[in-house]
Amino acid sequence: MSDSIDLLQEARDGNRRSLSKLLTLVEEGNPSPVERGTGLSLGITGPPGVGKSSLIGKMIDVWVDRGESVAVLAVDPSSPRSGGALLGDRMRMTNADSSDLVFIITLETRKHPGGLMDCLTPMVDILSECSWENIVIETVGAGQSEIRVVAFADRILLVDGPDRGDIIQAEKAGIMELADLIVINKSDLPEAERAAKAVKSGLSVGEDETTPDVLLVSAHSGEGIEEMVDALANTTTSPDRERLRVRERLISAWDSTLLTSNELENTLQELEKGSITLQEAVDCIRKEG
């Protein structure tokens, strides 16, 4: 702990190496020297390859131009579809690597069988404590576990693409309901406008004033980026979305308790042998937790 307090002090004074060391400590499960829940973050998610990283790269430019700092936590930057662009998040935010106002760090969920919940929130808190003004979490919105990562963010931006397939994926993953703002990226491509219409009409089913906006943007041409950054600053979340996120967070905490339980191996074996029932297994792990 004393280690981490020293590192925090140095990180506050602007030492990047101490900051990254401290974040590693916390990622490895060591206690954080910063009070929990003090930082605010923006979660950016969406189907593989829709341009999340490219957009973040552009958002970084806008923020840096305005003199604001930005830290990015790139979660699992190797999505199944963009297989070719291996670990490509960082490489799409290139302008970032020379500015003192930008800090990017990569996280691998593969290292965290219990999910990222135990480290993500404290990492955001530390970044906030060290005066990083905009804290962004990028995660691929391809399935349940990714949704649970993004549910830890305070605001959620859903990035969708011009393909019908992209939108269907986002819907299937259940991110539509969580998003505070939706953007259709690649507006330079012909199908984008139609995609935006489709998403809008899908959303207006249960229409009220808290329905998220849908904007058209392009990370390539730069269209709509400033508007998006401004819209994000002004967006508020709705009680419905907040409740959904709290629910996802609870489920992740629950999963994490299960997956990191000392009884897990044992219980699995007993189940396999058929010597206990599923209900008994649940009871056993709950007692232990």
Partner 1 sequence: MRIVVAKPGLDGHDRGAKVIARALRDGGHEVIYTGLRRTPEEIVRIVIDEDAAAVGLSSLSGAHSVLIPRVCDGLRDAEINDVIVFAGGIIPEHDRQSLYDVGVRAIFGPGTTSTEILEFLSTLDERSESGEPVGVGEEAGWHW
Ligand X SMILES: Nc1nc2c(ncn2[C@@H]2O[C@H](COP(=O)(O)OP(=O)(O)OP(=O)(O)O)[C@@H](O)[C@H]2O)c(=O)[nH]1
Residues that bind Mg ion (CB under 5 A): 52-53, 89
Nearer to Mg ion, 89 or 125 (CB): 89
Q: How many residues touch ligand X (CB under 6 A)?
A: 22
Based on the shown chain and the rule CB under 8 A, indicate whether residue 92 belongs to the binding site for partner 1.
yes
17 near partner 1, rule: CB under 8 A = yes
Exposure string of 11-29, with b = 16+ CB inside 10 Å and e = fewer, is: beeeeeebbebbbebbbee
**H runs (alpha helix) in 45-86:** 52-65
**Which residue lies nearer to Mg ion by CB, 53 or 185?**
53
The one segment of 17-25, 78-86, 229-237, 260-268 that binds ligand X by CB under 6 A: 78-86
Cβ of residue 181: shortest distance to partner 1, in angstroms?
28
**Choosing among Mg ion, partner 1, ligand X, none, which partner's interface includes residue 16 (Cβ < 5 to 8 Å by kind)?**
partner 1
User: Which residue stretch of 87-95, 144-152, 178-186, 241-249 sits at the interface with partner 1 (rule: CB under 8 A)?
Assistant: 87-95
Among candidate residues 44, 18, 20, the one with its CA nearest the CA of residue 175: 44
Q: CB of 89: closest distance to Mg ion in angstroms?
A: 4
In angstroms, give the least distance from the CB of 220 to Mg ion: 15
Q: Determine contact, residues 182/212, Cβ cutoff 8 Å.
A: yes
| Smallest gap from residue 44 Cβ to partner 1 (A) | 19
Residue 231 binding partner 1, by CB under 8 A: no
SS3 155: strand
Which CB, 78 or 260, lies closer to partner 1? 78
Nearest to 219 by CA among 49, 47, 41: 49
**Candidates 46-54, 63-71, 145-153, 208-216; binding stretch for ligand X (CB under 6 A):** 46-54
Size of the site for partner 1 (CB under 8 A): 23
Residue nearest ligand X by beta-carbon distance? 51
Please give the Cα distance from 211 to 169 (Å, whole number). Answer: 20
By the rule CB under 8 A, 86 interacts with partner 1: yes
Quick one: DSSP state of residue 232? H
Q: Which pair of tokens denotes residue 23?
A: 């974040």
The tokens 């800090």 sit on which residue? 103
3 state SS of 107: strand
Rounded (5°) CA angle 72-41-176:
100
Strands 155-160 and 70-75: unpaired
Stretch that binds partner 1, among 21-29, 31-39, 171-179, 247-255 (CB under 8 A): 21-29
Question: CA dist 27 to 87, 201, 273, Å?
Answer: 19, 41, 36
Least distance from C-beta 13 to ligand X, angstroms? 33
> Sign of the C-alpha dihedral, residues 177, 179, 180, 186?
negative
Eight-state DSSP code of residue 252: H
- The stretch among 2-10, 80-88, 164-172, 250-258 that binds ligand X (CB under 6 A) is 80-88
How many CB atoms sit inside 10 A of residue 237's CB?
17
Q: Name the site residues for ligand X (rule: CB under 6 A).
A: 48-54, 77, 79, 82, 85, 88-89, 92, 140, 185-186, 188-189, 218-220
Q: Name the site residues for partner 1 (rule: CB under 8 A).
A: 16-17, 20-21, 23-24, 77-78, 86-88, 90-92, 94, 97-98, 103-106, 108, 111
